[in-house]
Structure formats: C-alpha cells, structure tokens
Amino acid sequence: MQWALEQSRVARGRAAEENPWDRSGTGPKSDPESELRLPTPDDLSNWLAQATAELARTAERRDAPLEPLEAWIEVTATAEAWVADGDLRALRTRTRGWSVLRTRDPWGVGGVPRPVIVAHRRWQELPTNAWSEVLEDRWVSDRIAAPAPTRPTPVLFSPECAAILVLALVKALHTYGPDPGFSVGPAWRVVDDPGHSGALFGGSFDDAGFPTRRTVLAENRRAVGRIGGEGHYCRPSFRDRPVPMASHLTVLTDGEGAAPARGVLVTALTLHPLQPDHWMLEIDGAHLEGGRPGPALRSAVVSVSPGELARRCVAAVGPARPSHLGVETPALVFDNLMLR
C-alpha cells in the first residue's frame, strides 16, 4: 500500500513538473480517418455470420466442439473536438470495432470460459477469422494433465498472453521503471508507435496536443528509450489528467522462429504484481513435446521480477498478432523460468 501511495505521489509530481498541454499556438490539429460512418445492422450481421462460419471450420479441423454461448460485435464512431487554453484546437475521428465471443471450453479445462476479444481501428478491416486465431492459440491437444516441470524450463507465451505481459513490462520497466541502459534479452525488441496505421490508441498527436513519434524502447539487448514527456500523454478518460502511457506497442522480429522442442506453452495468464520487483504469473497451458502442445498444465505459478523477465526473453515465434490491448506481438519465449 505504501508503495502504491508513493507511486501516485511521484506521478503527480512529474505531471506538475512537465508541461501537460501543448501551448505552442501552432493552429488547429487534425487526425481524421478517411470515413466516419456507422455500419448498418445487416453489415454487422454479415460479419457475425462469416466469423461464425470460420469458427465452424476451425472446430471441424481440430475435431473440437467449439459451441458459441454468445457473440456480438460493436462499432463506435467517435469525433473528439478539443478547445483549450494556449490556442490548443484539435480534431480526431475514429471508427473502431470490437467483438466478443464466449464458448464452452472444448478441451475440458473447465471453469468459466474466458471471452475472446478482438478489435480493430477500422471496423471494416476486423478480420472474420480473428476469433479462430485466438482460439487456435489456446488449443491444447491432450485432456490429460501433467504436473509442472521440477527444473527451470523454457516457457512459450502465446500471442494473446504475450500481449498481456508486454503491456505490463513496458509500464514497469520503460514508463515508471529505471533509466534506460539496463540489459534485456535478445528478443525484447519493443517500440511504441502511436502513428502506426493500425494503432487502436494514439495518433499523430497525443492527448495533450503534442506531436507523437515512434520510440524505440529496447533493442540489441539494451533498454534505450522510455515512455514519458511530450508525445506520450494519454487520458484514460476525459475526467483524467494526461499521463505518460504507451499507445501502440510492437515487438519486432527478424522472422518466424520455432517453438522450443521441450518446455511449457502458456495459453492463459493472470498477472499478480505483488511488489515492484516481485510478480506472480498464474498460468495454464500445456507441456511442449517436439515443439507441439502435449499434456495439459493446470494452475502453475512463476515467481519472478519484471527485470528478470525482460532479460530472459530469448526468442519470438510465429507472426506478430494485434491485440485489443494495443499490443502487436508474436509468441515469446522466456528461458529458464521456474514453475511450481
């Protein structure tokens, strides 16, 4: 509790020291989408029908009863018009779409099924196979469960789980963490790119009116940048003062690497940041056998620090995949993690 209060005080102090609004008086700023139009009910129904057909093909290929419990798609057209002191005037428009799917768990893990959430900056480009891609990531081939390894082992986080981890690590290490220069693993190559054409969040200027820029956070085994200052201010809501936040995180890769021959695949992750330097990762997934999912692994725990995680990020596997969290990442391998 004391640490949380101290972090709040530090954040308020930083906001007071830094200029929270662009007062340059350079005139109106504009960041529009090409078209600001809501879909018709038929448009949305057609998307759902195609996505459901893709789901049925996945179920047939995997011989798994992917039974939808509920599914929906939502689209919002937003036009943000700002007028503030110092001649700050800005307009930003977006037509974002997101969809949620709930199914019965087809592989016997049990419990309340986790929803599948997919999103896109332009709803027309939300792929109809997006549900199936996420469910493929979660696929565990064997209903038989086996205990966690008793020795340190490579751990492969699916793109869905890697996105959760990347977002948390960037906040801990590259936003409110140490100054750049600390060592990281060879696959921890991360950039924040608010101006990316597919960015769910961000744009050509931040939420305080400052121009954004692509920021390299880590490369060549070193942390080289951080999230902070002009170009990185975001407002979680209009009630909140702009604070430094990542917009569109991307993990860079040189190609599609191979999964470890043996280790653990993580298909479900819950992150518990107990202290700044002590995280608990609660995971479900499977044992890797020959680089493919084998017997299921249920409710294992990894105790580790954020810095150690970044240093143990040794490989990227498969193509980078966008997430509704604003993170684009492939599956990531973290070496020599101890599970219990």
Same domain, 171 and 291: yes
pLDDT for the residue numbered 231: 92
Same domain, 222 and 166: yes
Alpha helix stretches (DSSP H) within 194-337: 306-311
Same domain, 196 and 311: yes
311 phi, psi to nearest 5 deg: -70, -25
pLDDT for the residue numbered 20: 67
Got the DSSP string for 58-81?
HHHHHT----EEEEEEEEEEEEEE
**144 in a domain, yes or no?**
no
Taking 60 as the threshold, does the pLDDT of residue 207 lie above it?
yes
pLDDT for the residue numbered 277: 94
Taking 90 as the threshold, does the pLDDT of residue 104 lie above it?
no
How many structural domains compose the chain? 2
**14 in a domain, yes or no?**
no
pLDDT for the residue numbered 35: 78
- Closest alpha carbon to 116 in 96, 130, 126, 128: 130
Same domain, 125 and 46: yes
Same domain, 228 and 311: yes
Same domain, 111 and 226: no
Same domain, 103 and 226: no
Give the pLDDT confidence of 154-168 residue by residue, as tens digits.
Answer: 999 999 999 999 999
Same domain, 100 and 164: no
Q: CA-to-CA distance for 18 and 10, rounded, in angstroms?
A: 12
Give the pLDDT confidence of 49-102 residue by residue, as tens digits.
Answer: 999 999 989 888 877 777 788 999 999 999 888 887 767 788 999 999 999 999
pLDDT for the residue numbered 6: 57
Taking 70 as the threshold, does the pLDDT of residue 16 lie above it?
no
pLDDT greater at residue 108 or residue 241? 241
Same domain, 248 and 133: no
Give the pLDDT confidence of 117-153 residue by residue, as tens digits.
Answer: 999 999 999 999 999 999 888 887 666 788 899 899 9
Same domain, 134 and 173: no
Q: What is the mean pLDDT of residues 310-331?
A: 96
**183 in a domain, yes or no?**
yes
Print the domain residue range for 215: 153-337
Give residue 299's pLDDT band: very low, low, confident or very high (50, 70, 90): confident
**16 in a domain, yes or no?**
no
pLDDT for the residue numbered 143: 67
pLDDT for the residue numbered 13: 45
**326 in a domain, yes or no?**
yes
219 phi, psi to nearest 5 deg: -165, 160
Domain end (from 104, 138, 172): 138
Same domain, 230 and 325: yes
Contacts for 289-293 with beta carbons within 8 Å, 24 or more apart?
A: 289/262, 290/261, 290/262, 291/258, 291/259, 291/260, 291/261, 292/141, 292/259, 293/139, 293/140, 293/141, 293/142, 293/265
pLDDT for the residue numbered 95: 92
pLDDT for the residue numbered 132: 92
The whole-model pTM stands at 0.89
Q: What is the mean pLDDT of residues 272-295?
A: 93
> Average pLDDT of the chain?
88
Give residue 244's pLDDT band: very low, low, confident or very high (50, 70, 90): very high
Domain end (from 107, 138, 169): 138
